[in-house]
Amino acid sequence: MRVVFAGTPEVALPSLRALLESEHEVVGVLTRPDAQAGRGRRTRPSPVREAAEAAGIPVATPARLRDEGVREQLEAWAPDVCAVVAYGALVPPELLALPPHGWVNLHFSLLPAWRGAAPVQHAVMAGDEITGAVTFVLEEGLDTGPVLGRLTETVRPRDTSGDLLERLSVSGAALLVATFDALERGELVPEPQPVEGVSLAPKIEVEDARVDWTRPAFAVDRLVRGCTPAPGAWTTWRGERMKLHPVEPVEADAGEPVLAPGEVRAGRREVLVGTGTTPVRLGQVQPHGKKVMAAADWARGVRPEPGERFDG
């Protein structure tokens, strides 16, 4: 089949590469416009744009799919189907019916669970033990279209959202190609999503990633892992923001004083922080304006006073 691929970040690359290696023909790529990234805020093309251009595939970078010329470009490419993997923008209704097989989205959850922009992050924060990926036909509703294929994936106890998304992006790429193979053979019957079990996964904003130390240790642990690597969990120390990498819940030793929520206790090799239940052990931290470092190294530099706390 002739395929137009719509995707933007690195997580979309396994799917693009799998389609390029398949029997299907990628005739064009849609991706988000070049954006500023990195500490120098330089304008860079998206990972998908770089990969597509390296493969000699025509690329379009409209700010919106409603923009003038987008429909004409799609009609010129004449796709049988459009693939959508983390594209980052909505497909307007007037374009949905343009390819004969529609727009097929690879979504990283077991729909109807976690509809929305951040399904993997929400699955980790909720403590899900099983998740997965589905291919489904886009329609006007938010991730409500009929399902074409699905796979399951175990959420490991120490997974960050980055770890989980990396595995799903690879297994999901194979699912996407298998879906297109079956569509071409006419073997797929779209399956409506069940009306029960719906949950939403909106984008994680920076303020959502702020650690509330009054919450139980397991909730702090899940929040930090769910926000790693993006947008990054954070707290404040002496009035300045500090980014946290994954933490580890620990059992409080019998006879030791209980740490208050946010209270920091620094030893030679570890730094513990109080929560609403038992403490968590800090892993790596990134103070404002500095590089990532081990928590013990940070503590040796700032020398926390007895009873001193993160501000939350």
Summarize the confidence of residues 29-37 as an average pLDDT. Answer: 91
Name residue, tokens 């929520």: 261
pLDDT band at residue 37 under the 50/70/90 scheme:
confident
Q: What is the pLDDT of residues 49-93, one digit of tens each?
A: 999 999 999 999 999 999 989 999 999 999 999 999 999 999 999
For CATH 3.40.50.170, the residue range(s) in the chain are 2-201
Specify the CATH superfamily of domain 206-311.
Formyl transferase, C-terminal domain (3.10.25.10)
Task: Mark the binding-site residues, compressed into ranges.
Answer: 109-112
For CATH 3.10.25.10, the residue range(s) in the chain are 206-311
The per-residue pLDDT for 133 is 98
Give the Cα separation of 145 and 147 in Å (integer): 6
Beta bridge partners of 293: 285
Q: What is the pLDDT of residues 160-185, one digit of tens each?
A: 999 999 999 999 999 999 999 999 99
Summarize the confidence of residues 293-297 as an average pLDDT. Answer: 97
For residue 229, pLDDT beyond 80: yes
For residue 312, pLDDT beyond 60: no
For residue 68, how many other CB atoms are within 10 A of its CB?
Answer: 8
For residue 40, pLDDT beyond 90: no
Q: What is the pLDDT of residues 126-150, one digit of tens each?
A: 999 999 999 999 999 999 999 999 9
Task: Mark the binding-site residues for (6S)-5,6,7,8-tetrahydrofolate, compressed into ranges.
Answer: 109-112
pLDDT band at residue 42 under the 50/70/90 scheme:
confident
For residue 141, how many other CB atoms are within 10 A of its CB?
Answer: 9
Which of 249, 288, 282, 245 is closest to 267 using CA atoms?
A: 282
Quickly name the fold that domain 2-201 has.
Rossmann fold (3.40.50)
Torsions phi, psi for 161 (to 5 deg): -65, -30
Q: Is the Cβ–Cβ distance between 5 and 30 less than 8 Å?
A: yes
Q: What is the pLDDT of residues 243-252, one digit of tens each?
A: 999 999 998 7
* pTM of the full structure: 0.93
Which of 107, 116, 215, 251 is closest to 168 using CA atoms?
A: 107
Q: Round the average pLDDT of the chain to a whole number and report it.
A: 95
